[in-house]
Chains A and B, each alone.
Chain A
């Protein structure tokens, strides 16, 4: 999980949490029903590896649950 700029330079440019998968795909992360622009719960996941469930819609992964993998 990384912290990145979403929609740089646009009306809705903002910092967000991005999930990078093992195969290199990137998705903007959002909790189901959560705030797309500011979510401290997701901020806490930055730098961690997670396994999440939910739906991918366009560039966004809308997550309804996740577990943080333990660091080796």
Chain B
């Protein structure tokens, strides 16, 4: 019985790295399997491009490596047959593709969301709707090579990092590095205090590249900066200025091995081909090359509120808090997703996107730090660690399903929202300073979650969510540069039977 499965497409690996390259990867995998055995884990690689290997698990071989549906079906077959405690997607999306989910916030023009969420859910691959995969029950992480590379050296190095890692003490992860865009420092302070206790985040501006290099030594990193598509840089913001806060080169020079990172930044975990940026690695890849063991970030445009915490703030907090409480990186990712589904209003399309876009890069079975309570120490010799882990998986599987069943999700778009509700939301938006024209207002019916749907029916209520996007452009002050500055707000109004019951605002940050 295997505890941990490496999902590999050997055919795609050979196409990418050549025959010798594949052999080098498989040798590194064997070393990881041996290291895991010493850690009490039975690890197995399964080649999803092999018909014989897949037949053993009542699945079909992946014949088109880029076909995310085929790949998801293969992972589902393996999971159903073996119920492993950890699933590891081996290599970048050009070998094991992200699963493309429909963007629930299309006004940001992101297109589909490249996601690993569906691999963590038992729901079949028949839908592109994130809500269908909101019952998150599996522990999944990705060990990404470099997208587009022809040399396996990077992936081999990551496998070696995973094989060589030994859990540290929680105290080793307590000195933290937190970096925030100046305009978000209040929100970041809330997050940082929840994760690490009292500490000050580094603010950009004034601090930024390259000075930030000297600050990267702590083993826990929390980053709340701007990010952009296909960009090896993060950015701060203050007074309409966007200085570069950190780069992949800063990470390469300053980061220490064994670090764990949660980055809220837009595109902070996008695994783009470094040839697009003159060989400069994505910041996530740079961290892993520098010896980091886990990176939690977003593949696309991420969201947060004007003040306080929501969306990206929360899911990244949940990940770090769990990882520092002794969870494996993969369980921390699973519980972050579950906590998010259970605690947030999933009727909000922004929350649905947040669930879809955040993923774990790194070996999910690694525990950054171990639980160090006296109780844990005294019972360590009496407890069957593997059995305890499998019992946790049962509980987490049930919890993941319950969280999704008891949540509402945005359903079909309402072509013509009821006039009373439309006008009421327009008034609320106006009162809050949003200039909302009719074309900027979209409404969606709320659907269950099995239990949520039953309760709506039992109570004979209909729920809606109304999303307002303000497109106001503020011209620059006289004498300033040419052009216009965006002044954007998104308002989400939750309604029941055409009465507004909750309003959430997301603003330009």
Contacts and interface: CB of A to CB of B under 8 A. Distances in A.
A32 interface: yes
B303 A10 contact: yes
A20 interface: no
A62 B276 contact: yes
Given A8-B107, A38-B242, A15 B485 contact: yes
A8 B108 contact: yes
Interface in B168-184: 184
B149 interface: no
Interface string A27-61: 01010110111101001001000000001011110
Given A57-B229, A57-B273, A8 B488 contact: yes
B19 to A, nearest CB: 29
Most buried by B among A5, A28, A32, A43: A5
A14 B509 CA distance: 8
Nearest to A40: B481
A65 interface: no
B506 A9 contact: yes
B316 to A, nearest CB: 12
Interface of B is mostly: loop
A13 B482 contact: no
Contact of A13 (B110, B265, B273, B488): B488
Interface in B209-247: 226-231, 233, 235, 237, 240-242, 244
A46 B482 contact: yes
A11 interface: yes
Nearest to B237: A37
B111 interface: yes
Given A7-B108, A55-B276, A62-B276, A15 B233 contact: no
A12 B266 contact: yes
Contacts of B273: 57
A65 B56 CA distance: 54
Contacts of B240: 38
Contacts of A46: 482-483
B156 to A, nearest CB: 26
Contacts, number: 121
B277 A43 contact: no
B43 interface: no
A12 B107 contact: no
Interface in B294-341: 301-304, 312
B174 to A, nearest CB: 27
B109 A59 contact: yes
Interface residues of B, number: 51
Most buried by B among A11, A12, A46: A11
B429 interface: no
Contacts of A8: 107-108, 469, 471, 486, 488, 490, 508
Interface of A is mostly: loop
B423 to A, nearest CB: 22
B22 to A, nearest CB: 27
Most buried by A among B105, B244, B277, B486: B486
Contact of B302 (A10, A37, A43, A62): A10
A43 B242 CA distance: 14
A46 B482 CA distance: 9
B304 A11 contact: yes
Contacts of B469: 8-9
A11 B509 contact: yes
A14 B312 CA distance: 18
Contacts of B275: 55
Nearest to B267: A12
Contacts of B312: 11
B467 to A, nearest CB: 9
B483 A3 contact: yes
Contact of B508 (A13, A33, A43, A62): A13
B264 interface: yes
Contacts of A40: 481
Contact of B484 (A3, A13, A32): A3
A3 B471 CA distance: 13
A28 B229 contact: yes
B228 A10 contact: no
B138 interface: no
A30 B80 CA distance: 45
Most buried by B among A12, A32, A60: A12
21 contacts: A7-B301, A8-B486, A9-B469, A9-B490, A9-B508, A10-B266, A11-B301, A11-B302, A11-B509, A13-B509, A14-B242, A33-B277, A35-B233, A35-B244, A37-B226, A43-B481, A43-B482, A57-B229, A57-B272, A57-B276, A60-B228
| Shortest beta-carbon contacts, A-B, top 4 | A9-B490, A36-B228, A37-B242, A13-B508
Interface of B: 105, 107-111, 184, 226-231, 233, 235, 237, 240-242, 244, 264-266, 272-273, 275-278, 301-304, 312, 469-471, 473, 481-486, 488-490, 506-509
